Structure 1
């Protein structure tokens, strides 16, 4: 008999130890623990401290084995449940000083930074300062007539420009070097034919966006996104006054932090805390209270553009129909999808948010010493961010996130 595929949903799910090796079976929970968990997941002020401890117990049973298995020094895990934020911290931000991870600890979020770049480009679109349908040379004249100019900004935003690589060659440095690289780049496919995950692709989108808006990229991120959303502990460059909160990442047992690189700010440069990242997710889940242009920009990033298997690529965020199976979530974040060119199918009619379909949005991020994952389901007011000061395998992140969200969904 074929084993049924499990899905992550708001309904109670059947437990399978095979799918979630770090979780205890439901029998390990007493009736009292289940009742307390239900209270923790409901918007009820009574016994809030006790309820949070019950929720912590569910997170602990996944995160502690994960850290042990992969040698992760420290983590901050944030949950949005029913519109309420919960942050749980583990381990140390620095092995050398034995500094514990706290809610104030700043982590590198790697390529989750791309969701900020995409939101900035979307803000330019809704305010009329740029067009995603325009070609790069409309804003960067040095690229006129070059192969890259066959693509549009939308292709850059969805990694479908024609086969841009994952990273710039080591010889590329500075904006002039970046432009020279794009002037000589040779595509492997027509725009819109394949998706190939790429830092140069999103990086060029960010460069074109800043040029169109006639302002430095870092300044635009600060004034158009971070300040309006109240992200007071999110930075491209961590200020001196906050360095004590900046975690050290670990690679091969050595403390490291991210190194400068071409278009690094646009693609992997943001550092943030778990509470701030939860604010970022909540803004996406419900942007109704935001400035209209900013809210419209965040909604624009949710529109699906190209389908790759069960995953749909939007602007920055990747998305799946919800409920989603564990297998589909792993496949959409697989090494093949990250490293290899994948044929794509344009999403017919470009389905907009609010069309009645429930969706799960996610994004992974890594630097040399950090690993992060963010996921949210607007229809369920459910979100999760996991920040770690080690770049551990992406499948392990997906498994852990699925385990936590599954426990929450089964008991809600």
Structure 2
């Protein structure tokens, strides 16, 4: 198994200016990461994987395998992977940016931006409901045959809910995709342009894109399906908003640090990131915020798996609205999984411990396996304190 890692430290005053330091500072970390991820790669025949870790602002990168079976190019911390639904955390940040600028509020409904929806069932749901999958039972995906944003809007205009807004959480690409679409309308521009200019550029994430430009296409990994055939994400309605971001391990761990320490960000970005940390609904063991899913920390692997179970992802679950002052009382793990047909990702961090883990793979790894692996590393990081 090909594996190499480097260690980067961040000056206390700046989040996005890493400098090289001694890679031997935490030799036990390499053992923990290998123990967690090397067996996973072998069991699921993963061509390549990039692991990034932050500990008190110090970055460590562990790169395994290849970005392309055809070329044999090794994975590096600059390799670009599809994030799948981890993209939703960036959509949430753009929504937070619009909130901070006063261009939208979460208690308004879609008809403020699309008057044709006035009086329709979807217009009974607020933007907070759309962003937290609690609009009333929007499906996981748009039905077959709906291929464009225009067709998606027509579907939403005629959609009939299964429950009242706020009663159930049903994980849904159309739900948060529509939220991102409305946030872009509030800011009066195209979603992908706004995301790249206001969020990605503002955070200095120069290997993160909605559409990978030709200048970086050589760094864009190929994903692989179950038969090890190369594949990349297909276009679809609200795809940019729901699952369309591609990024590197270096950029994603910088994004994690921005979430751990939003107070050091530009005044336009600090409230945007902080808005994604507010919890709105309690759903079983998990609290649903904007993009990020929250659980008390520390927690067992079984508890983390319960919060990311197939039941949570694929079925409606009762949701209980949280009061504005009903935040977490202790340490909180923020996390988000993501998949496309050829890629799998998981990002988790604990601000109170100043630790975080990014896992990017060019195969859709079995969800419990990646969650167990990240939990193993989080436990190791906590033990190092």
TM-score normalised by the shorter chain: which range applies?
over 0.9
Partner residue in 1 for 2:15: none
RMSD after superposition: 1.7
- SS of structure 1 residue aligned to 2:140: coil
1:286 aligns with 2:265: no
- State the structure with more CA Rg: 1
- Indicate if the aligned counterparts of 1:142 and 1:179 stay in contact, CA closer than 8 A: no
Gaps of 5+ in 1: 1-39
- What's the CA shift for 1:301? 0.9
Instruction: Summarize the Cα distance change of 1:388–1:300 in structure 2 as closer, same or farther, 3 Å threshold.
Output: same
1:96 aligns with 2:78: no
Q: Counterparts in 2 of 1:182-201, with a 5 A limit?
A: 182-201=156-175
Question: What TM-score do the two structures reach when normalised by structure 2?
Answer: 0.93
Structure-1 separation of matches of 2:138 and 2:308: 19
Residues 61-100 of structure 1, C-alpha deviations (whole Å, 9 max, x = no match): 2111110011111000000012111111000100111111
Structure-1 separation of matches of 2:196 and 2:151: 26
- What's the CA shift for 1:176? 1.7
- Indicate if the aligned counterparts of 1:326 and 1:402 stay in contact, CA closer than 8 A: yes
Q: Counterparts in 2 of 1:51-66, with a 5 A limit?
A: 51-66=25-40
1:380 aligns with 2:367: no
Q: Counterparts in 2 of 1:42-191, with a 5 A limit?
A: 48-191=22-165
Instruction: Summarize the Cα distance change of 1:73–1:380 in structure 2 as closer, same or farther, 3 Å threshold.
Output: same
Instruction: Summarize the Cα distance change of 1:129–1:51 in structure 2 as closer, same or farther, 3 Å threshold.
Output: same
- Indicate if the aligned counterparts of 2:88 and 2:242 stay in contact, CA closer than 8 A: yes
Gaps of 5+ in 2: 1-8, 13-18
- What's the CA shift for 1:282? 0.5
- What's the CA shift for 1:127? 1.0
1:360 aligns with 2:342: no
Q: 2:305 aligns with which of 319, 325, 330?
A: 330
More helix by proportion, 1 or 2?
Answer: 1
- SS of structure 1 residue aligned to 2:66: strand
- What's the CA shift for 1:351? 3.3
- Indicate if the aligned counterparts of 1:63 and 1:400 stay in contact, CA closer than 8 A: yes
Structure-2 separation of matches of 1:359 and 1:51: 27
Partner residue in 1 for 2:291: 316
Structure-2 separation of matches of 1:92 and 1:53: 23
Question: What TM-score do the two structures reach when normalised by structure 1?
Answer: 0.87
Residues 201-233 of structure 1, C-alpha deviations (whole Å, 9 max, x = no match): 001001111111111101110111011100000
- SS of structure 1 residue aligned to 2:287: strand
- What's the CA shift for 1:57? 2.4
- SS of structure 2 residue aligned to 1:292: coil
Moved more, 50-59 or 395-404: 50-59
Instruction: Summarize the Cα distance change of 1:177–1:374 in structure 2 as closer, same or farther, 3 Å threshold.
Output: same
1:400 aligns with 2:344: no
- Indicate if the aligned counterparts of 1:52 and 1:86 stay in contact, CA closer than 8 A: no
Structure-1 separation of matches of 2:384 and 2:262: 27
- What's the CA shift for 1:289? 1.4
Structure-1 separation of matches of 2:232 and 2:263: 36
